[in-house]
Amino acid sequence: MSKAATPRRRDAAASRERLLNAARELFADRGYDRTTARDIGERAGVDPTMIARYFGGKAQLFIATLHAQDGPNPPADLLDPERLASLLDRIGRHGPGPVFQAAVRPYGDPDAQDAARTELQRRVVAPLRRRLKDDGDAQPELRAELFIAAFIGVVLARSAGTFEHLAAASTGELLPLLRQLLAPPDPAVPGAGRAVAASDEHGQQHHEPEADQ
């Protein structure tokens, strides 16, 4: 139990830490399902079976990953342009985190998924909801969730490389577009924007037969 002044050759705490770091990195850009325990072990330089020993299993390692290093935890809402920029930048460098992925992708383990979703609520949805409420938004809960879902779609598609121009665009190009995407309905214009009005050239026709899934 002595405070490890000398670097111990066999150090459980160090192994734990290396597993935790490796897991966080891998989960961040491959997601939960697609990172294997063996991958984590290899990246950490630690035997994969240690995951079970130290954390109880892959799912619990993932949860530990979520709670570890959430830092000083100053969750700013996405309407803050600084926050948006830094978030976008970090995602560009480290990949979208498992927290964001959890919103849109099914997880193999329900416990892990729940934990990630709870964290998503706490970190990003709740702050934005509060902000919208403070701004007097009519339906802050719905708009906050819609907003963040849209944001997640963009960053995930971006880092997935699905869309050519989206992936190639710099964060500098993206920021103004994203801000506009997240813009609140402008109360100054009574008509609530021209997008809705511009679409009335089509009648009540139905598009039933088309079927793209």
Tokens for 47, please give them: 């035997």
How far apart (Å, rounded) are the C-alpha atoms in residues 199 and 210? 20
Name which of 8 and 94 has its Cβ closer to DNA.
8
Per CB under 8 A, contacts with a second copy among 87-106 are 90, 94, 97-99, 102-106
Name which of 112 and 120 has its Cβ closer to DNA.
112
How far apart (Å, rounded) are the C-alpha atoms in residues 152 and 28? 14
CA 55 to chain centre: 23
Least distance between a second copy and beta carbon 12 (Å): 24
Name which of 6 and 204 has its Cβ closer to a second copy.
204
Q: Which does 8 bind (CB under 5 to 8 A by kind): a second copy, DNA, none?
A: DNA
14 touching DNA, by CB under 7 A = yes
Binding residue (CB under 8 A) for a second copy from 6, 10, 172, 199: 199
Neighbour-count burial for 15-48, b at 16+ CB within 10 Å, e otherwise: bbebbbbbbbbbbbbebbeebebeebbebbebeb
Binding residue (CB under 7 A) for DNA from 36, 86, 139, 162: 36
Least distance between DNA and beta carbon 29 (Å): 15
Taking alpha carbons only, the member of 78, 62, 2 closest to residue 27 is 62
How far apart (Å, rounded) are the C-alpha atoms in residues 31 and 20? 15
Q: Which does 75 bind (CB under 5 to 8 A by kind): DNA, a second copy, none?
A: a second copy
Which x/- pattern over 43-82 shows residues binding DNA (rule: CB under 7 A)? ---xxxxxxx----xxx-----------------------
Binding residue (CB under 8 A) for a second copy from 80, 130, 133, 137: 80
Report helix angle 12-30 to 58-67, nearest 10: 90
Which positions lie near DNA, rule CB under 7 A? 1-2, 6, 8-12, 14-15, 35-38, 46-52, 57-59
